Structure 1
């Protein structure tokens, strides 16, 4: 095929990777199936950082104005990302299967007339794209964040460096660095000792250097 898409030799899906996706060195994509709902018109619309990975059927669903940035050495394992504005994921993060990140949500006070209009707009779109029903709010995951399976990260949330989100947790507010949160709504159950800071790394290098 002679077009701007990139095709993976090992891929079972023939859709290919859109031209506005930047795949940095050693990044791994298991299948291009996850880009089937990528409608971003931004350049680039998606960046997969160095040695990051999109495994199984990780889904990148982006509206026309959406952009997702995935940091180096981050693993997305059957993760679902819905973006109409911005999702930024730092380096060395791990997102388990079934995790949902969405920067857009349907608020409970949206009038039924607005909901009906949005559904009618989707019905007339050849790609069945659902327009945002509320104002998108960016999501940010700082470095070294772990998110357990089937957790949901809602619009406007920042997950601080080194925090851990338990399985099936629903996060609607910011999580501080190195916090462990569980439940719906998410609550902090403990804080971890920071072990990934520059100071700790430098000390470890000095100690190993003595051998």
Structure 2
């Protein structure tokens, strides 16, 4: 520790991890550079669960009222998270490189005057923070979800347990549990067998215990 921030021994970036970030046991953070745009005033503003990982250029762009929670054993690999309200990611998830999760969006019909006011506000901010141009809507990702590379998950979306989001898919609506979705806009192409239920897990543990 140094002051209010945590500094990683292996880090090339000197900014450190903000004090309102909670890091679980055995979690891995490749560099604190990903927290350079974390301006959350919440306590905590970000939770990284046990044994989860924030790899490569994973970036947390979090406004003053934003909160992000990442579950245990979840892997964020070069993921970009934009949060002005709430992003919650469950356990055992894999979020691939280039994925964008954003709870805030610029509506296509936003008036020019509103867009101009937002840009002027960012220009006058010492950190060049862009205020929300629309009302943020929380994103929720349940356990055991796989999001393929360069997919985009838009505000208000819930990804159900065990679902798979294909590469470069744009998700604007909720995805049911165990669905596989692809395309822009996302469409369901199949459903997976729910092989990660509590009953299946308990059976597997019992079988392993007999060996």
Report the TM-score range of the alignment, normalised by the length of the smaller protein. Answer: over 0.9
Q: Name the SS for the 2:128 alignment partner.
A: coil
Cα–Cα, structure 1 residues 198 and 2, in superposed 2: closer, same or farther, change >3 Å?
closer
Q: Please provide the CA RMSD for this pair.
A: 1.0
Question: By how many angstroms is 1:209 displaced?
Answer: 3.4
What is aligned with 1:152? 152
TM-score with structure 1 setting the length = 0.98
Tell me by how many angstroms 1:94 deviates.
0.3
Instruction: Say whether 1:167 aligns with 2:128.
Output: no
Deviation at 1:205, TM superposition (A): 2.4
Q: Counterpart in 2 of 1:204?
A: 204
Task: Tell me, in whole angstroms, the C-alpha distance in 1 between the residues paired with 2:27 and 2:210.
Answer: 34
CA separation in 2, counterparts of 1:210 and 1:112?
67
CA deviation map 1:128-169 (0-9, x unaligned): 000000000000000000000000000000000000000000
Helix, strand or coil: the match of 1:201?
A: helix
Task: Show structure 1 runs of 5+ residues with no match.
Answer: none
Gapped regions of structure 2 (runs ≥ 5) = none
Q: Count residues with an aligned counterpart.
A: 211
TM-score (norm 2): 0.98
**How far apart, in 2, do the equivalents of 1:78 and 1:2 lie?**
27
Corresponding residue for 1:111? 111
- Aligned mates of 2:85, 2:154 — CA distance in 1: 13
| 3-state secondary structure, aligned to 1:123 | helix
Map 1:1-211; keep pairs closer than 5 Å: 2-211=2-211
How far the C-alpha of 1:2 sits from its partner, in A, is 4.2
